[in-house]
Amino acid sequence: MAASLVILILIWGTVCTAQLVTFENPDICALKGSSVYFRCFYNCSEDETVTDVAWYKGGQKDAQWIHFKLADVPLLHNRSEYLGDMRHDCSLAIHDVQQNDSGHYYFHFDTDAFGRRSKTSVYLSVTEMEASVRPSPTVRPGWAVWLECQTSCPNPVTWFKDGEPVTSTEFQAQIEDAGNYICAIEGEESVQSDPVTLDVQYPPLNVHVEVSYTGSLTWGNSVSLSCSSAANPAAENYTWYRGDDSPSSMVPVGSGQVFSITSLEPSHLGWYLCKSQNLLGENSSMQMLNVDSSAHLLVLGVGVKVLLILLLSVAII
């Protein structure tokens, strides 16, 4: 009788073991407020039928480690969603994860013969990631900058600038480094921080003067000179000067981004200088204003032709 009992126990322990539950990723980090997915697979012998499946969270009660069924945990049962089936897939989703959702999660399943639970667990870490730029999010070209990501997840983090990977978290700021930076959990890039903006400020650069007019640049026509520049913060003041090609000869003639001449006269010709200025400095550019000599010849030619026609008309009469 005793020998038969031992044989029965050995057979009982060899069917549908808990080792047949596997987790794709047993260590998951999620951002607070996001949804997290546990990919899980299980199996048992072909002669058994699965009758019930459930996920549990491990916790202490009366100094003992026990498993609490998610359906019975008030803070979890409305946010947990079983995505699997009754044979092989035991995947789970938890939505709007919170800090107190962190912990060990186990999968249990019952068959018409036995009940089993996973021997291992999925460990969920919930974090609030915070990206920051040191020493300040507002810098100037050449200043040292380093990126910091605060998170409780043990996983390494990676960085992106405007959606593109960042190769180094410490660098000398350049104008092109301005943009929005986020840190993310490496391998789980959906776990991201809120963006932090690096603002690289600089005085006006690439000052450009453009001359515009309608038709030909001739006496009496209106002419506009517009000034543009790259600057951060944007240029606040534009000042116009006129003179010869020596900056020392320049005298102020106006202000504003556009300088307008309503009726062009010979006294308007010459060099124009635009000075662009913001809080960090100033820069300037010069442009020569001259008449279109070919247009004047064209006007003169038209006048001579009309005069000849009139003379011929008088001779015929």
Q: What is the pLDDT of residues 268-279, one digit of tens each?
A: 999 999 999 999
Provide mean pLDDT across the span 49-54.
93
Contact 149, 157 (CB under 8 A): yes
Asked whether residue 153 falls in the same domain as residue 99, the answer is no
Asked whether residue 32 falls in the same domain as residue 121, the answer is yes
Asked whether residue 144 falls in the same domain as residue 190, the answer is yes
Is 62 a residue whose pLDDT tops 80? yes
* Residue among 57, 190, 40, 196 nearest 133 (CA): 196
Span 179-203, pLDDT tens digits: 999 999 888 787 889 999 999 999 9
Structure tokens at 124: 């969920």
**DSSP secondary structure, 75-125, as one string:** TTTTTEEE---SSSB--EEE-S--GGG-EEEEEEEEESS-EEE-SS-EEEE
Asked whether residue 41 falls in the same domain as residue 78, the answer is yes
* Residue among 135, 73, 140 nearest 106 (CA): 73
* Residue among 49, 169, 70, 23 nearest 114 (CA): 49
Q: Which of 118-132, 225-239, 283-297 has the highest mean pLDDT?
A: 225-239
The 8 Å CB, 24+ separation contacts for 311-316 are none
Is 13 inside any structural domain? no
Of residues 26 and 11, more confidently modeled: 26
Span 22-35, pLDDT tens digits: 999 999 988 888 89
User: Of 98, 127, 156, which residue is a domain's last?
Assistant: 127
The rounded distance, in Å, linking the Cα atoms of 117 and 295 is 93
* pLDDT at residue 293, as a whole number: 57
Asked whether residue 195 falls in the same domain as residue 209, the answer is no
Contact 56, 71 (CB under 8 A): no
Q: Domain tally for the chain? A: 3
Structure tokens at 45: 């012998």
* Residue among 38, 39, 41 nearest 18 (CA): 41
Is 16 inside any structural domain? no
CATH number, domain of 68, equals 2.60.40.10
* Residue among 224, 203, 211 nearest 282 (CA): 203
Asked whether residue 43 falls in the same domain as residue 119, the answer is yes
Asked whether residue 112 falls in the same domain as residue 145, the answer is no
Contact 253, 242 (CB under 8 A): yes
Is 25 inside any structural domain? yes
**pLDDT band, very low/low/confident/very high, at 244 (cuts 50, 70, 90):** confident
Is 315 inside any structural domain? no
Is 233 a residue whose pLDDT tops 60? yes
| Mean confidence (pLDDT) of the chain | 85
Is 296 inside any structural domain? no
C-alpha distance from residue 248 to each of 105, 233, 253 (Å)? 78, 28, 14
* pLDDT at residue 249, as a whole number: 83
Is 310 inside any structural domain? no
**pLDDT band, very low/low/confident/very high, at 292 (cuts 50, 70, 90):** low
- 185-222 burial: b if 16+ Cβ within 10 Å, else e: beebeebbbeebebebbbbbeebebeeeeeeebbeebe
Asked whether residue 150 falls in the same domain as residue 96, the answer is no
User: Of 110, 127, 144, which residue is a domain's last?
Assistant: 127
The rounded distance, in Å, linking the Cα atoms of 289 and 294 is 15
* pLDDT at residue 1, as a whole number: 41
Judged by average pLDDT, the poorest of 12-26, 99-113, 191-205 is: 12-26
Asked whether residue 69 falls in the same domain as residue 104, the answer is yes
Provide mean pLDDT across the span 256-277.
95
Is 7 inside any structural domain? no
Show the domain range for 149.
130-200
Provide mean pLDDT across the span 276-293.
90
Asked whether residue 150 falls in the same domain as residue 116, the answer is no
**3-state secondary structure at position 61:** strand
Asked whether residue 242 falls in the same domain as residue 191, the answer is no
Span 135-174, pLDDT tens digits: 999 999 999 999 999 988 888 899 999 999 999 999 999 9
User: Of 169, 200, 231, which residue is a domain's last?
Assistant: 200
Asked whether residue 193 falls in the same domain as residue 258, the answer is no
Is 316 inside any structural domain? no
